[in-house]
A and B are shown apart, each in its own frame.
Chain A
Amino acid sequence: MIGFWTLFSKEVLRFWKVGFQTIAAPVLTAMLYLLIFAHVLEDHVRVHGLPYTAFLVPGLVMMSILQNAFANSSSSLIQSKVTGSIVFVLLPPLSYRVFWAAYVLAAVARGLVVGVGVLAVTAWFADLHFVAPGWILAFALFGGAILGTLGVVAGIWADKFDQLAAFQNFLIMPLTFLSGVFYSIHSLPAFWQQVSTYNPVFYMIDGFRYGFFGVSDVSPWTSLAVVGVCFALLAALTLALLQRGYKLRM
């Protein structure tokens, strides 16, 4: 347990020490999204009967949680691999489960810190409700854990920073941007509505937003089931890779 706690604390301390880059910058980015989109669309668009800004805020919070959870585990691992300092984690008697749990929970921690920061600065611009806080917490934790785990996979798989950037720009960014952060999928043509239902991030955003307003594109139970199954499958895959020592132990 001390080994797990140490690795988790070290990962938290790592992002905390560069908080300008890892916390303040994504909060500012989300704020800019809100200012621009709200300025353009507030008077023209209502979604699920909500003012556009109110609809947008939970989506931006969740998107920040997801992107930063991914960034934390993936950047820490690729940096350790490129510099060689990963050896300090591989030499001690830490099990592959401890390795996974510590990196993922630290990723969730960063996602939540950034998410709370985004909520704190954007909440002033919208009339938010918290009708079901349990759903908010559940989807924040599951979403952070899924993207944190995906970050572990990407960090282990990538040998170079540009490979990780490709993973981030060509997979994570499209999945998060095309997930209903900025719109309801009911506003899309039927074909793209159907495509959106294959994007697991859509269920994370939709379920998270349900916790604020009690309205969503699909039932939160459906979203929870999809997100739960995705987490279980991805965790099993990642643990199997770590147990084999994939790209870590030659």
Chain B
Amino acid sequence: MTVPAIRVSGVAKHFGSVCALDGVDLEIAGGEFFGLLGPNGAGKTTLISALAGLVRPDAGRLEVMGHDVQADYRGARRLLGVVPQELVFDPFFSVRETLRIQSGYFGIRGNDDWIDEILHNLDLTAKADANMRALSGGMKRRVLVAQALVHRPPVIVLDEPTAGVDVELRQGLWRFIRRLNEDGHTIVLTTHYLEEAESECARIAMMKAGRIIALDTTANLLQRFGSETLSLEEVFVRVMNA
């Protein structure tokens, strides 16, 4: 039996009286390009954070390629690359230093060939020696993507990767992500740009109030409301209001 890239079983999480995740079950197969959609506060980022070990669930189990994210956190984290939603950076270092440091955290030395390739694909080569403070918001966002890829993770989670990135750079980013997916990487994407999810994702889950309320292939979701083919945005609105 093939081990799924991600398996989420009965995961619940409360922050005080707020229920962020309410018994979420989800399986994502290896090599999928998967979309996780929902309004603000639906639980997408909490679910991703639980997968990354940043949030400890009250109940349930999460696995990355069969490795439990709590019991075998080292195994799970080596296989996972996460692009966080917030535009965070360490102001003391240059882009290349940032990526070398991130490689080292994953136990990798002498990673410059791969770092150069990532920098090239994300159009950051010219900024390799620039301090992180000197970069524009879009460039900082691309460095976040680069940081998630330094250890060549088979499972990549992108939490709103194109927020604040201009159109041209966004297209370049998607070309690179698509290529990674074609090379066998599993991609999990959250975004508020539903046209991106529609064009990139083969399967989509929609979350609301900590629960998955729709889960299907993108094609099936677009046909969900009768014979009329809707845009993903129209489907999303109807599902959320149902």
Contacts and interface: CB of A to CB of B under 8 A. Distances in A.
Interface of A: 2-3, 5-7, 9-10, 13-14, 17-18, 80, 83-85, 87-95, 245, 249-250
Contact of A88 (B15, B91, B97, B147): B147
B54 interface: yes
A90 B102 contact: no
A87 B92 contact: no
A88 B55 contact: no
B108 A91 contact: no
Given A6-B101, A92-B77, A250-B15, 10 more contacts: A7-B104, A7-B105, A10-B104, A13-B92, A88-B102, A91-B54, A91-B82, A92-B102, A93-B75, A250-B49
B156 to A, nearest CB: 12
Given A88-B102, A92-B77, A249 B108 contact: no
Nearest to A250: B55
B106 A90 contact: no
Most chain B CB neighbours (cut-off 10 Å) among A5, A80, A93: A93
A3 B106 contact: yes
B89 interface: yes
Interface string B92-121: 110001000111111111000000000000
A2 B147 CA distance: 17
B56 A85 contact: no
Contact of A89 (B74, B103, B105): B105
Nearest to A6: B104
A14 B93 CA distance: 8
- Interface size, B (range): 20 to 34
A250 B92 contact: no
Interface of B: 15, 49, 52-56, 73-75, 77-78, 80, 82, 84, 86, 88-93, 97, 101-109, 147, 151
Contact of B73 (A80, A85, A89, A93): A93
Nearest to B13: A250
B50 to A, nearest CB: 9
Contact of A87 (B73, B78, B88, B106): B88
A18 B93 CA distance: 11
Most chain B CB neighbours (cut-off 10 Å) among A14, A84, A88: A88
Contacts of A87: 54, 84, 86, 88
B104 A85 contact: no
Most chain B CB neighbours (cut-off 10 Å) among A83, A89, A249: A249
Given A85-B88, A93-B78, A249 B53 contact: yes
A5 B78 contact: no
A90 B103 CA distance: 14
A2 B104 contact: yes
Contact of B105 (A6, A83, A250): A6
A153 B53 CA distance: 21
A88 to B, nearest CB: 6
Contact of B104 (A3, A17, A84, A249): A3
Nearest to A244: B56
Nearest to A90: B54
Nearest to A15: B92
Contact of A17 (B92, B106, B151): B92
Contact of B106 (A85, A93, A249): A93
B181 to A, nearest CB: 21
Nearest to B82: A91
Given A13-B92, A85-B90, A87-B84, A92 B106 contact: yes
A122 to B, nearest CB: 30
Contacts of B106: 3, 92-93
A35 to B, nearest CB: 33
A181 B149 CA distance: 50
Contacts of B75: 93
Contacts of B105: 3, 6-7, 88-89, 92, 94
B52 to A, nearest CB: 6
12 contacts: A2-B109, A6-B101, A7-B104, A9-B104, A80-B90, A90-B54, A92-B77, A92-B151, A93-B74, A93-B106, A93-B107, A250-B54
Q: Which 9 A-B pairs have the closest CB atoms?
A: A6-B104, A84-B88, A92-B105, A93-B74, A93-B77, A2-B107, A85-B90, A85-B88, A250-B55
